[in-house]
C-alpha cells in the first residue's frame, strides 16, 4: 500500500499522483504551467466577473472564441475543465470495455489512465529519442488492431517538446481516412511553441488542418491562466453532441465565472501570448547556456517548447538522481519513468525566471555530486 492507503492499482495516473503528493522543494522545475497571470493583468476581469451564464451546453461567446481561434464553426467545439477534462471526454465518448487505445511512448500517463478507467486496453507505439521523438504514421498503422478505436498523440510531445509538423499531421489524417480510426492530438503546449516560431503555420493545429482530427488544449500551458481551468476539444462535425452527453454524467456544466473570464481572455490572447513569448524566450536562453555547460544532459530534440526531456548519460534510471536532487539540493525535476523513458528527466521552462535560474544552479550541483 502507498502512504495514502492506496494500492498501486488504485493510482490511475502515477505521474499525476506524484505531482500532487511530492515533497515541496525550494526550486521546482517540474511544474509546467505557464507563469501565472494575476487577475489585474487580465484587463476588465473585475467587471466581467459574474456568477451566472447561459452555459448548459457551453457558454456561447466562449465557444465562438475558441472556434475563431481554430478557424472552425462553434458546433465543432466542446468546452471542459482543462485540457485533461477534454481528453477524458473524448476518450469516454469513444471507447468502452474491450476496445483498445493506441498511445505514444514516452507518453503522458493520465491519457492512459483515462483509457483504462473506461475499460480499454492500452497499446503503445514508440517515439524514439534517436529519431527526435518523431511520430511515424507507418509505426502507428503497424500497431493498429481490429479493437483500436482511438489513437492519442501529443504535440508538442509531453514529455519531450517535439512538435508535429504539417507533413506529419497530413500523414495522420490520411491514416485516419484510410482506416477509420479516430486520432486525438493533445495540443496543450502548442500555442507557445507556435508563438516562439517565425513560421507558426509550419505547426498547424490538427483540427484546423483536417475536420477528421481532434485537437484538445487549454489556456493553461501557453497563457498562464491555469486557475480558470478552461479547456476544450475541437472535434469532427457532428461529434460534439456525443461529448456533451458524456459530460452530462461527469460534471454536467462548466463554471459560469470561469467561462466569462476565459471569454475575456480570448479578446486579449495576442497580448497574453506575447507576454508568454517574452518570458519563455528569456528562460530558454538560460536553459541553453546550462545545457552547453552540462553535456552529460543530452537533448534529443531542439528546444521548441516550454518543456524538455534530456537524457542523463550513463544512467539507466533517473529516479534515484531526481530523489537525491530534491533531498540534498532542493530542486525538483520529473523522473523519466513516469513517461516510460527512465533514462530521461523532464524539466519545465515556463515558471518564474528566478526560480528557473536558481533551480538550474542547484541541478548543476546535483549533477556534479553524482
- Range from 44-53, 119-128, 310-319 carrying the lowest mean pLDDT: 44-53
Given this model, what pLDDT does residue 7 score? Answer: 62
Q: Which domains does the chain have, with CATH numbers?
A: 8-37+271-368 (3.90.1150.10), 50-268 (3.40.640.10)
- Range from 7-21, 262-276, 306-320 carrying the lowest mean pLDDT: 7-21
Quick check: 52 pLDDT over 90? no
H/E stretch holding 68: helix 60-70
Given this model, what pLDDT does residue 8 score? Answer: 60
Q: Band of the pLDDT at 50, cuts 50, 70, 90?
A: confident
Instruction: From 57, 54, 22, 33, select the one nearest 241 (Cα to Cα).
Output: 57
Share of the chain above pLDDT 70, in %: 98
Share of the chain above pLDDT 90, in %: 90
Q: Which pTM was predicted?
A: 0.95
- Range from 42-46, 71-75, 205-209, 308-312 carrying the lowest mean pLDDT: 42-46
Q: Band of the pLDDT at 291, cuts 50, 70, 90?
A: very high
Instruction: Tell me what the pLDDT averaged over the chain comes to.
Output: 95
Q: Band of the pLDDT at 46, cuts 50, 70, 90?
A: confident
Quick check: 1 pLDDT over 70? no
Kindly give, in sequence order, each residue whose CB lies less than 8 Å from that of residue 266, ignoring residues fewer than 6 positions away.
62, 65, 66, 68, 69
- Range from 2-11, 36-45, 326-335 carrying the lowest mean pLDDT: 2-11
Sign of the CA dihedral 112, 140, 126, 346? Answer: negative
Quick check: 130 pLDDT over 90? yes
Residue pLDDT, tens place only, 190-210: 999 999 998 888 899 999 999
Instruction: From 247, 218, 253, select the one nearest 92 (Cα to Cα).
Output: 247
Q: Band of the pLDDT at 14, cuts 50, 70, 90?
A: very high
Given this model, what pLDDT does residue 274 score? Answer: 97
Instruction: From 177, 209, 203, select the one nearest 304 (Cα to Cα).
Output: 203
C-alpha cell recorded at residue 246 = 458524456
Average pLDDT over residues 40-54: 86
Quick check: 4 pLDDT over 70? no
Q: Are 233 and 242 in contact (CB under 8 A)?
A: no
Question: Cell match 530521461: residue?
Answer: 344
Average pLDDT over residues 304-326: 97
Listing DSSP states for 216-280 in one string gives EEESSTTTS-GGG-EEEEE--TT-HHHHHHHHTTTT-S--HHHHHHHHHHHHTHHHHHHHHHHHH
Q: Band of the pLDDT at 2, cuts 50, 70, 90?
A: very low
Measured CA angle at 216 (ends 215, 219), to 5 deg: 130
How far CA 64 is from CA of 76, 139, 330, in Å, comes to 10, 36, 45
Residue pLDDT, tens place only, 138-195: 999 999 999 999 999 999 999 999 999 999 999 999 999 999 999 999 999 999 999 9
Amino acid at each position: 500500500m502507498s502512504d495514502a492507503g492506496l494500492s498501486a492499482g488504485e493510482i490511475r495516473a502515477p505521474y499525476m499522483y506524484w505531482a500532487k503528493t511530492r515533497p515541496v522543494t525550494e526550486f521546482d522545475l517540474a511544474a509546467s504551467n505557464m507563469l501565472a497571470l494575476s487577475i489585474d493583468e487580465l484587463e476588465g476581469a473585475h467587471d466581467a466577473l459574474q456568477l451566472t451564464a447561459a452555459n448548459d451546453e457551453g457558454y456561447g461567446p466562449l465557444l465562438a472564441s475558441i472556434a475563431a481561434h481554430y478557424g472552425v464553426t462553434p458546433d465543432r467545439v466542446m468546452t471542459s475543465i482543462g485540457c485533461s477534462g477534454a481528453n477524458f471526454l473524448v476518450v469516454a465518448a469513444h471507447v468502452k470495455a474491450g476496445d483498445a487505445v493506441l498511445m505514444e511512448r514516452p507518453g503522458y500517463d493520465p491519457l492512459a489512465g483515462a483509457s483504462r478507467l473506461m475499460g480499454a486496453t492500452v497499446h503503445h507505439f514508440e517515439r524514439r529519442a534517436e529519431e527526435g521523438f518523431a511520430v511515424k504514421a507507418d509505426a502507428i498503422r503497424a500497431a493498429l488492431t481490429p479493437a483500436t478505436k482511438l489513437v492519442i498523440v501529443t504535440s508538442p510531445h509531453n514529455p519531450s517538446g517535439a512538435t508535429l509538423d504539417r507533413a506529419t499531421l497530413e500523414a495522420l489524417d490520411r491514416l485516419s481516412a484510410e482506416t477509420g480510426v479516430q486520432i486525438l492530438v493533445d495540443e496543450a503546449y502548442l500555442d507557445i511553441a507556435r508563438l516562439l516560431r517565425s513560421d507558426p503555420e509550419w505547426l498547424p493545429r490538427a483540427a484546423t488542418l483536417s475536420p477528421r482530427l481532434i485537437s484538445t488544449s487549454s489556456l493553461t500551458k501557453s497563457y498562464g491562466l491555469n486557475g480558470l481551468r478552461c479547456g476544450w476539444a475541437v472535434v469532427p462535425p457532428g461529434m460534439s453532441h456525443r461529448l456533451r452527453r458524456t459530460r452530462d454524467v461527469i460534471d454536467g456544466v462548466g463554471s459560469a465565472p470561469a467561462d466569462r473570464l476565459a471569454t475575456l481572455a480570448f479578446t486579449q490572447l495576442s497580448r497574453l501570448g506575447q507576454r508568454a513569448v517574452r518570458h519563455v524566450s528569456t528562460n530558454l536562453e538560460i536553459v541553453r547556456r546550462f545545457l552547453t555547460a552540462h553535456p552529460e544532459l543530452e537533448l534529443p530534440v531542439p528546444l521548441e517548447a516550454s518543456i524538455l526531456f534530456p537524457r542523463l548519460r550513463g544512467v539507466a534510471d533517473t529516479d534515484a538522481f531526481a530523489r537525491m536532487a530534491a533531498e540534498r539540493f532542493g530542486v525538483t525535476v520529473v523522473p523519466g519513468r513516469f513517461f516510460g523513458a527512465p533514462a530521461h528527466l523532464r524539466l519545465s521552462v515556463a515558471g518564474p525566471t528566478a526560480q528557473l535560474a536558481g533551480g538550474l544552479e542547484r541541478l548543476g550541483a546535483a549533477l556534479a555530486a553524482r
